[in-house]
Amino acid sequence: MITAGVDIGAKIVKVVILDNGKVIGRGKALVGFDVGKSASDLFETVLKNASLSRNNVKKVVATGTGRESVHNKPPVNAEEVVSEVVADAVGAFYLVPTVRTVIDVGAEEGRGVKVGEGGKVKDFVINERCAAGAGTFIETMARALEVKVEEMGPLSLKSTQTIPMNAQCCVFAESEVVTLIHSKVSKEDISKAIHDAIASRIGSMVLRVGVEKDVVLIGGPALNPGFLPPLKRELNTDIIVPEYPEYVSALGAAIIAAKDGV
């Protein structure tokens, strides 16, 4: 049975096509102003690359902040929508059956999910109000440092000192970075300070639901080599990053579709 999961995040849309538990197609694209169109275009591209049409897909489940934009709307026609938290838990459990804690860091939201038997959500926490604990924070700071976002992680690994960043908000944190730049602090050290800060925020948020092994980190920032070390330090635990961490939520949605409902 072929099913699909569509994860429409604040910045990136991801699509996963599943055939009897095996991923046969995946793709991602930026979300434009027309969220539904961005998701639909990507969905059709991924289907085409897999030599499929919508008729070949038995069921589509959408997740993510923009999930309603494709709910029962062509061409995606997602029959079901589920929250990111549920999709995160199912996707992570599929990849790492021993998972008990999922940390999902997206563009504008961070989430901690306590996972029970069978990938069920036992408890969850989502960051409130500010993207200072999410991927956009790193992007904003990269602009302030005038480096590419993908350079931020490697830069931070070259740092030689620890500098605390206290601001709890993206806007004020940017001011703090500008102050550090004017103080002639190196880009490497500022980059590390930024990663430490985001890890601190995500870490303290996840601790609210409790950290139980195995811990799995998913979402785009999981690909950032500068983010994992401070998060491990913050939580004082090993963290598993699965292959294609940014697709785990879409994968979870596709698995839910295969189960014919949540």
Q: Shortest gap between Cβ of 120 and other proteins (angstroms)?
A: 8
Among candidate residues 7, 4, 96, the one with its CA nearest the CA of residue 47: 4
Which residues within the stretch 157-216 sit at the binding site for other proteins (CB under 8 A)? Answer: none
- Report the helix count and the strand count for the chain, using DSSP H and E: 8, 9
Of residues 177 and 255, the one with the C-beta less far from other proteins? 255
- Of the candidates 22, 117, 129, 238, which one interacts with other proteins according to CB under 8 A? 129
The token pair at 164 is: 């605390």
Using the rule CB under 8 A, give the single segment among 77-85, 131-139, 215-223, 243-251 that binds other proteins: 77-85
Using the rule CB under 8 A, give the single segment among 35-43, 123-131, 148-156, 185-193 that binds other proteins: 123-131
Residues 224 and 206: their CA atoms lie apart, in Å, by 19
Among candidate residues 120, 88, 101, 99, the one with its CA nearest the CA of residue 211: 101
Residues 26 and 129: their CA atoms lie apart, in Å, by 31
Question: What are the beta bridge partners of residue 154?
Answer: none
Among candidate residues 206, 68, 219, the one with its CA nearest the CA of residue 134: 219
Q: Shortest gap between Cβ of 90 and other proteins (angstroms)?
A: 11
By CB under 8 A, is residue 262 in contact with other proteins?
yes
Q: Shortest gap between Cβ of 45 and other proteins (angstroms)?
A: 28
Q: In the block, which residue shows the tokens 């940390």?
A: 103
By CB under 8 A, is residue 82 in contact with other proteins?
yes
Residue 250 region by backbone torsions, left for phi larger than 0, else alpha for psi between -120 and 50, else beta: alpha
By CB under 8 A, is residue 128 in contact with other proteins?
yes
- Of the candidates 23, 24, 29, 126, which one interacts with other proteins according to CB under 8 A? 126
SS3 258: helix
Which residues within the stretch 83-102 sit at the binding site for other proteins (CB under 8 A)? Answer: 83-86
> Binders of other proteins: how many residues, by CB under 8 A?
14
Of residues 19 and 123, the one with the C-beta less far from other proteins? 123
* Contact residues for other proteins, defined by CB under 8 A: 65, 82-86, 120-121, 123-124, 126, 128-129, 262
